[in-house]
Amino acid sequence: MTEPLLEITDLRVAFHARHGKVRAVDGVSLTVAPGECLGIVGESGSGKSVTFAAVMGLIRPPGRIEAGRIRFAGRDLVGLDAASYRQLRGRDIAMTLQDAQTSLNPALTVGTQIIEVLAAHGEGNARARAVEMMTMVGIPAAERRLGDYPHQFSGGMRQRMMVAIALSCRPKLLIADEPTTALDVTIQAQVLELIASIRAKLGMSVVLITHDLGVVADYCDRVAVMYAGQIVEAGRTADIIGSPRHPYTEGLLASVPDLHNLDRPIRPIEGQVPDLIDLPPGCRFLPRCPKARPDCAKPVPMRAVGEGRNVRCVLT
Amino acid sequence: MTALLRVENLVKHYAPGQGLLSRLLGQKPRMVQALNGVSLEIRAGETLGLIGESGCGKSTFGRAILRLHEPTSGSVRFGGTDVLALDPAALKAMRRRMQIIFQNPYASLNPRKTVAQILAQPLRLHGLASGAELQERVRAMLAHVGLRPSHAERYPHQFSGGQRQRIGIARALILNPEFVVCDEPVSALDVSIQAQIIELLARLKRELGLTYLFISHDIAVIGYVSDRVAVMYLGEIVETGPARAVLHAPQHPYTKALMSAVPGGGAEDRVRLLGDLPSPMDPPPGCRFHTRCGFATDLCRSTVPPQRALQGERMVACHHFPETPP
Ligand SMILES: Nc1ncnc2c1ncn2[C@@H]1O[C@H](COP(=O)(O)OP(=O)(O)OP(=O)(O)O)[C@@H](O)[C@H]1O
Ligand SMILES: Nc1ncnc2c1ncn2[C@@H]1O[C@H](COP(=O)(O)OP(=O)(O)O)[C@@H](O)[C@H]1O
Ligand code: SF4
Ligand code: SF4
Ligand SMILES: [Mg+2]
Ligand SMILES: [Mg+2]
């Protein structure tokens, strides 16, 4: 097996709030191989963004990495000094944020923003490269549009601009946080295909954070399902979508309508996501699980079940 | 089947805020042509799904037929009544029968009122109930939408997104309407909660005999809830028909592109759309879709395509598709 590019081991991140400690990420372990696309799915608040903010060195007080290890290309990232992290971000790891509307600076032209990133990483002919990147992400007349401000772009163009900026330094790993959640399906398909084609061209690894299982099915090699700060099931996409083992994954798959199979009735998961403060020690899905048993109230470890597959449930 | 709502040639233009420069130059403001002659019929007891990209005019349509936004021209008939001709008093009475549920339940609920007050307000406004009867109707409605009696005294911020949407639904249904516009009612909710609300809306429709206009950009959701669908592009309807038929065998090039972009069907053989959505202030002439259509010809660029009726109660507005209309 090849050495993973990214390896997260037992990561714990908490935010100290007035009314207690929010355990946003509570014992997450995962790996991303070179060239691989890993999907991260889960409902909002399940800890997807915080996990990768930790990888990017972007957890700020009141948040804190309480435990765990993050190794990237053979280096330990937890505790890395700020200067080294700045170098790493953009050059080796890039992340597109969930909200492109707010992550582009409204007061600067898009040209200035992409050229800044390129120049900061010592790219000689930053302007020409900026035009090249913008053309690659499908922004027509890129040269002319360098002088435009973000509000002059449509939502889809802003999102593609984010991808252009993220990819401009040819990172080894792209973390795309809900790159298409706010977009129409037509634009969503454009952005995802763009990421997939660049991944194929540059051989980069991609982490695709989404709540859309259809997106995962189309673009990801492997997937990790998160619930309330933990991974509950991980493995090859086809295995997990074809035969989910964790009751939450089952519930998630059963609750979304499928255009290609409209006769399948949808079945909601009853109840709601738990509050991450003062969680009981047992399985976090217990209050909503139709298969719960008494021993689910004790801590439930992640177990390996077959090739590259892990499930956190007493039934497996 | 009888049409509960018949919309003909509905036009809605918005006047955008005019820039200083164009005012100084005395230029006429350019209008946003949000709806450009929409004709649709919604039958009693059905769910009509309305799909299309962001900004194409779906919400404008839902609001214009309720006169929450005054249409520019056209006609809206609800059960035989000419809605656009109603005076304010008659319109208020008509609103009892036509209601709307919004996408963002939080923004549409008054944060300073308890749930009981929010639900009582429409009944009071219409003078439909007071005292003990009013309390009873509020209690019954809460139970109907799956909330507990103890929830009545709480404020909107004390609820989850899904529960707030239940309150929004209760508020729309407490007047016993016949017709409800559901404008993206599940889009702001988490996937596992979406299914709860979809089920609730389906159950209420059965129990109360409702008719829905269901607006969503999520095509799988539309496929699941709708009897018929209408596809909108830049303020015009390009295709209508029975939901399964349109979604599984789309005929209009735009509908085809939309369907093939839905995730979960594999990333291969997508029908790609060229470029971005044109501005509704400056829509293309001829077929409005021609700037993004891979099949456009000179005819498409100059002439508005006719609405052609196909077998199986379908309609497609395109010069070239289907190639051999039945
Ligand atoms: N009050 C308004 N003033 C000016 N323009 C408006 C107004 N409301 C809507 N528009 C414009 O009308 C067009 C249609 O908007 P509408 O809100 O109906 O779209 P939609 O299909 O519901 O989109 P979405 O899927 O994003 O909700 C858009 O170009 C929009 O910018
Ligand atoms: N800056 C912050 N301060 C306090 N709590 C936070 C902060 N960022 C995230 N959280 C909490 O951490 C949990 C996980 O959040 P997040 O990773 O953003 O979820 P998602 O899976 O939707 O990306 C949530 O309970 C969220 O409220
Ligand atoms: S551990 Fe128990 S409660 Fe948790 S998912 Fe498995 S069966 Fe359900
Ligand atoms: S009328 Fe022409 S441009 Fe319009 S959808 Fe049909 S083929 Fe395409
Ligand atoms: Mg997030
Ligand atoms: Mg809308």
How would DSSP label each residue in A269-301?
PPS-PPPSBS--SS-TTGGG-TT--GGGGS---
What are the pLDDT digits (tens) for B119-133?
999 999 999 999 999
Q: What are the φ and ψ backbone dihedral angles of B234, each rounded to 5 degrees? A: 45, 50
CA distance B54 to chain A (A): 7
Residue A99 is predicted with a pLDDT of 66
Contact list, B196 vs chain A (CB under 8 Å): 268-270
**Closest-CA residue of chain B to A44:** B190
Q: Is the pLDDT of residue A182 over 70?
A: no
Which residues partner with A13 through β-bridges? A25, A65
What are the pLDDT digits (tens) for A208-222?
999 888 899 999 999
Q: For residues B227 and A190, what is the distance between their CA atoms, to the nearest angstrom?
A: 30
Tokens representing A171 are: 């990172």
Is B174's C-beta closer than 6 angstroms to any atom of ligand 1?
A: no
**Per-residue confidence band for B24, with pLDDT thresholds at 50, 70 and 90:** low
Tokens representing B326 are: 């039945």
Q: Is the pLDDT of residue A204 over 90?
A: yes
Integer Rg of chain A from CA: 20
Residue with the bigger pLDDT between B275 and B145: it is B145
Q: What are the φ and ψ backbone dihedral angles of A127, each rounded to 5 degrees? A: -65, -45
- Alpha-carbon distances of A15 from A21, A61, A62, B209, B264, rounded to whole Å: 6, 8, 5, 48, 35
Q: How many domains does chain A have?
A: 1
Region A274-287 average pLDDT: 89
Residue A170 counted as domain residue: no
Q: For residues A9 and A25, what is the distance between their CA atoms, to the nearest angstrom?
A: 12
Q: For residues A161 and A191, what is the distance between their CA atoms, to the nearest angstrom?
A: 10
Residue A20 is predicted with a pLDDT of 86
Q: ipTM beyond 0.85?
A: no
What are the pLDDT digits (tens) for A20-66?
899 999 999 999 999 999 999 998 889 999 999 999 999 999 999 99
For chain B, what is the mean pLDDT? 91
Residue A298: domain span: 6-92+209-311
Which residues partner with A178 through β-bridges? none
Amino acid at site B180: V
Residue B2 is predicted with a pLDDT of 82
CATH number for position A50: 3.40.50.300
Say whether B283 sits in a helix, a strand or coil: coil
Q: Is the pLDDT of residue B28 over 70?
A: no
Is A23's C-beta closer than 6 angstroms to any atom of ligand 2?
A: no
Residue A163 counted as domain residue: no
Q: What are the φ and ψ backbone dihedral angles of A309, each rounded to 5 degrees? A: -115, 135
**Closest-CA residue of chain A to B52:** A184
CB atoms inside a 10 Å sphere around CB B150: 8
**Per-residue confidence band for B26, with pLDDT thresholds at 50, 70 and 90:** low
Residue A109 counted as domain residue: no
Q: Is the pLDDT of residue B19 over 60?
A: no
Contact list, B162 vs chain A (CB under 8 Å): 272
Q: Do B221 and A257 touch (CB under 8 A)?
A: yes
* Chain B interface, Cβ < 8 Å to A: 53-54, 160, 162, 190-196, 198-199, 217, 219-221, 223-224, 244, 247, 257-267, 270, 272-273, 275-277
Residue A67 is predicted with a pLDDT of 97
Looking at residue A35, the DSSP 8-state letter turns out to be T
Q: For residues B181 and B62, what is the distance between their CA atoms, to the nearest angstrom?
A: 6
Tokens representing A305 are: 């079940």
Cα angle B190, B193, B197; round to 5: 125
For chain A, what is the mean pLDDT? 90
Contact list, B275 vs chain A (CB under 8 Å): 140
Is B60's C-beta closer than 6 angstroms to any atom of ligand 1?
A: yes
- pTM beyond cutoff 0.90: no
Residue A134 counted as domain residue: no
Region B27-49 average pLDDT: 90
- Edge-to-edge, what's the strand order for the sheet holding A37-41? A93-96, A173-177, A205-210, A37-41, A222-227, A230-236, A310-311, A303-304
Q: Is the pLDDT of residue B47 over 60?
A: yes
Identify which of A29, A312, A27, A49 has the alpha carbon closest to the alpha carbon of residue A175: A49
Residue A221 is predicted with a pLDDT of 97
Q: Is the pLDDT of residue B23 over 90?
A: no
What are the helix (H) ranges across A149-281? 155-167, 185-202, 213-219, 237-242, 247-255
**Per-residue confidence band for A190, with pLDDT thresholds at 50, 70 and 90:** confident
Residue A259 counted as domain residue: yes
Is B62's C-beta closer than 6 angstroms to any atom of ligand 1?
A: no
Q: Do A186 and B273 touch (CB under 8 A)?
A: yes
Integer Rg of chain B from CA: 21
- The count of C-alpha atoms lying within 13 angstroms of the C-alpha of A222, restricted to the half-sphere facing its C-beta, is 20
Place of tokens 């839905």: B262
Place of tokens 């599984």: B248
Region B175-183 average pLDDT: 96
Q: For residues B229 and B244, what is the distance between their CA atoms, to the nearest angstrom?
A: 9
Is-contact B201 B182, C-beta < 8 A?
yes
Which residues partner with B231 through β-bridges? B51, B239
Residue A278 counted as domain residue: yes
Q: Do B258 and A185 touch (CB under 8 A)?
A: yes
**Per-residue confidence band for B21, with pLDDT thresholds at 50, 70 and 90:** low
Q: For residues B86 and B70, what is the distance between their CA atoms, to the nearest angstrom?
A: 12
* Residue % of chain B over a pLDDT of 90: 73
Residue A237 counted as domain residue: yes
Residue A138 zone, left/alpha/beta (φ > 0; ψ -120 to 50; rest): left
What are the pLDDT digits (tens) for B84-111?
999 999 999 999 999 999 887 778 899 9
- The best mutation among A227, A252, A288, A289 to test binding of ligand 3, ranked by most ligand atoms within 8 Å of the C-beta, falls on A289
Contact list, A252 vs chain B (CB under 8 Å): 191-192
Contact list, A156 vs chain B (CB under 8 Å): 276
Using DSSP, how many helices (H) and how many strands (E) does chain A show? Answer: 11, 12
Identify which of B91, B82, B58 has the alpha carbon closest to the alpha carbon of residue B232: B58
Q: For residues B289 and B300, what is the distance between their CA atoms, to the nearest angstrom?
A: 9
- The count of C-alpha atoms lying within 13 angstroms of the C-alpha of A288, restricted to the half-sphere facing its C-beta, is 21
Residue A78 counted as domain residue: yes
Residue B29 is predicted with a pLDDT of 65
Is-contact A251 A239, C-beta < 8 A?
no
**Among the partner residues B224, B257, B276, nearest to A262 by beta-carbon distance:** B224
**Closest-CA residue of chain A to B260:** A186
Q: What is the DSSP string of B139-192?
A: HHHHHHTT--GGGGGS-GGGS-HHHHHHHHHHHHHTT--SEEEEESTTTTS-HH
Which ligand 1 atom is nearest residue B215's CA? 22
Longest alpha-carbon distance in chain B: 68
- Alpha-carbon distances of A57 from A25, A85, A313, B62, B87, rounded to whole Å: 15, 7, 31, 46, 62
Counting ligands in written order, which one lies closest to the CA of residue A50? 2
Residue B108 is predicted with a pLDDT of 82
Output the CA B85–ligand 4 centroid distance in Å: 36
User: β-strands B3-14, B47-51: how paired?
Assistant: unpaired
Say whether B153 sits in a helix, a strand or coil: helix
* Residue % of chain A over a pLDDT of 90: 59
- The best mutation among A231, A246, A313 to test binding of ligand 3, ranked by most ligand atoms within 8 Å of the C-beta, falls on A313
- The best mutation among A8, A22, A44 to test binding of ligand 2, ranked by most ligand atoms within 8 Å of the C-beta, falls on A22
What torsion do the CA atoms of B128, B132, B135, B137 make, to the nearest 10 degrees?
-50
Tokens representing B7 are: 């919309």
